[in-house]
Amino acid sequence: MTFLGMLALLAGAAIATQASMNAQLGVLLRSSIWATAIAFTSSMLVTFTVLLVSSQHLPKMEIWQAVPLHLWFGGVLSALGVGLFYFLIPKMGVGPMMSFALTGQLLVAMLASHYGWFGLPVKPLDSLKALGIVSLICGILLINWRNAG
């Protein structure tokens, strides 16, 4: 496994762990919205701290102005996704929730890659990838078979 692959696994583990922790925070606070707000506030503080201690410079105004309007609203999708995680994990369990969420992420990622959405490199969907998607969906159904009732 490559270093980047190991970092990707670490990122996935971090997402599953923080989702579980913050879902429990939402249960204890009796509000998944408060848990989401706390998670994003702490994320913002950490991110700004890293910016302050790193060598990152503020982009020039023309760079800010060249960003397409729709790209400024990715945080809305983050808040929706994270908030739904914190709401659904206590109801579904972390395993089933993560399995469905990962499936949704992969399906949209395959479409985004196939069509080159948001300036991504185009990686056409072929029959082998389609078989992988069908296998993934079958696997998710098998993982969650007993939870269906």
Say which residues have a Cβ less than 8 Å from residue 18's Cβ, sequence separation at least 6: 39
Rounded to whole angstroms, the Cα distance separating 36 from 24 reads 11
* Selected residue with higher pLDDT from 102 and 42: 42
Instruction: Note down the domain range covering 70.
Output: 3-147
When divided into structural domains, the chain yields a total of: 1
Mean pLDDT score, 112-135: 93
| Per-residue pLDDT, 62 | 96
The structure tokens listed for 71 are 């790209």
| Per-residue pLDDT, 148 | 53
| Mean of per-residue pLDDT scores for the chain | 91
Burial class (CB in 10 A: 0-12, 13-18, 19+), 63: exposed
Dump pLDDT digits (tens) for 26-76.
Answer: 999 999 999 999 999 999 999 999 999 998 888 999 999 999 999 999 999
Q: How many Cα atoms sit within 13 Å of 68 on the Cβ side?
A: 6
Mean pLDDT score, 95-116: 90
| Per-residue pLDDT, 91 | 93
Identify the band that residue 124 occupies on the pLDDT scale cut at 50, 70 and 90. very high
| Per-residue pLDDT, 149 | 47
Say which residues have a Cβ less than 8 Å from residue 36's Cβ, sequence separation at least 6: 22, 26, 79, 82, 83, 86
| Per-residue pLDDT, 147 | 65
CA-nearest of 16, 7, 20 to 105 is 16
Rounded to whole angstroms, the Cα distance separating 36 from 125 reads 34
Q: 35, 23 in Cβ contact below 8 A?
A: yes
Q: What percent of the chain has pLDDT over 70?
A: 98
Structural Rg of the chain based on CA atoms: 18
